[in-house]
Structure 1
Amino acid sequence: MASGLAALLDDVAAIAKLAAASLDDVTAAAGKAGSKAIGVVVDDAAVTPGYAMGFTPERELPIVWKIALGSLRNKFLFLLPGALLLSAFAPWAVTPILMVGGAYLCFEATEKILEALMHATDGQEDTPQVEQLAQSSAEIEAQKVAGAIRTDLILSGEIMAIALATVADRPFAIQAGALVLVSLALTAGVYGVVGLIVKMDDVGVHLAKRGSAVTRGFGRGLVKSMPHVMQTLSVVGTAAMLWVGGGILVHGLEHFHLDTVPHFIETLSEKAHHAPVLGAVAAWLTFAAGSAVVGLLIGGVIVGILHLIPGRKH
């Protein structure tokens, strides 16, 4: 009896060691995959705050929470199982699907730019009362949340593709575990940062009402600077959609051996890398700018085609 119990305990210990080793493998794979996707994560964090801009303070965090839940649904209901199935049965389809998503990002960013230019040309501005009423409506909120979740679907798809490519040589269980950890960690990180950004003005108001003169001055400065920060993030978010979407298309062209545009951008990037100061940064900026130009051209073509369709609303 004692020997049987000892054997059972030995089996349990062996299973525990195996589970711990597997968990270590999953954690290591997730860390490697997440680090590869960090560039798209930064883009995601820059894009999302724009969808919570202009609403009343009490609606900001609920909107971010709705978008975060939508992001989790995107990842766990569609992207994660889809990525694993494609990897197992149709790896050839991953690149075309990503290119369609990249084209959508380019279209959305280009349309935002055109709308901003048309609004500036018209010189029409809504009164604060009308703007506040419009932005507080449930309909406008639902539209913005839906738009944010659609954009998240594309960005999260790129994150999943990068992460999956990083662990493609690992067993299926390790791939699945790594993608789950990456999905949870990056969603929590991105939307935690977004929630902090959209509430920074409230933090500034709180600081401006108490503490030392330095604290109150810092709080007032924070409140005054946040509109400019949010506007900057809106611009960065639109640019991010262009360079991420354009980058997806550039890599897709290279994948299909249509090398003219990718080779030209990569050549410029390599030349920038040899700059005497901050060569790596210059190389990245050059590639991002080249990708953004491609994204703007593709987005412009799609916008033009869609606006020629009879009956399509502006």
Structure 2
Amino acid sequence: MSKKAKLQNIFLTGGAGFIGSHVAILLVKKYPDYNIVVYDKLDYCACLENLNEVMDLPNFKFVKGDIFSSDLVTNVFKENKIDTVLHFAAQTHVDNSFGNSFAFTQSNIYGTHVLLECAKNCSTMRRFIHVSTDEVYGEGEDFDAKPMDEEHVLEPTNPYAATKAGAEFLVKSYHRSFKLPVIITRGNNVYGPHQFPEKLIPKFINQILRGLPVTIHGDGLNTRNFLFVEDVARAFDCILHKGEVGKIYNIGGCNELPNIEVAKSLIKILGKESEMDDYISYVPDRKFNDLRYTITSEKLHSLGWKEEISFEDGLRKTVEWYNTYIHRYGNIDSALIAHPRMTGSGGAEATSPTNL
């Protein structure tokens, strides 16, 4: 990174959520000369306790706020002399997007637009890192398909992915029109501590811990590539300091597995292997469920990042965390049904903005 682009004051949206909290913790601890301002509205899948490790450190600040509030965002930018944005806040759960897709448009597109406009008008801005997803590429149609690189055409297949693709085009336009120093990331499925249990791995863990069968969508043969959250946090550290403005970086791993195999691994880890059949329940599939996503991360590897934590070790660390913090999110019964439609208060049948 050039001296001109030296970073010091980082504004991190969605930082009380899953991936954002891990990135915030890494940056606060690793860079005591940086000031990290976490900005989060504390919706149902966010939790301030996720930030307990750094809450009292001098280079950490938490601001409760909505990304829709341009006045508040602008004031926080000015007051803290923000020079970097890490934008994690988003609606992220595909099941929810089939139930109330308007909330995804509002959060993922309009919310990103507000942040871009605030950043455009901020004279100290040096980096705007927008967190997207591998789902913008669309479905990998077969298992012989070549991994998708950052230049692959975007063909999203569900409302969630479409809103993330739309947000990306806004981000690109602010780089081209206003020279905003943007970087975009597109990542595989992430798992680990702090994840609200509407997503596959924490959902399966919490179902098993409560003596419930895991709910497998369809035949369970759809695959996903899973990355442990600590590896992903290191990827963002690498991109933040070594990434090139105007570029896109895939964040992918080497753990492509069918959902049914993930379920069986967790059942074994939790000591229920002898009751395997009792702990597996097949339920109707989503309206549309991509077969697989396959991406190449060669550009990120060239910056020096590599995956370090094996899937087996990551799963065990994740199970251990949920065993210890089983009550972190209070009553999660609504999240453990086959096709949840979460609300801001954690109930079912509607949606509201969440955090990565």
- TM-score for both structures, normalised by structure 1: 0.21
More helix by share: 1
Q: Which has the higher contact order (CA 8 A, sep 6+)?
A: 1
- TM-score for both structures, normalised by structure 2: 0.20
More strand by share: 2
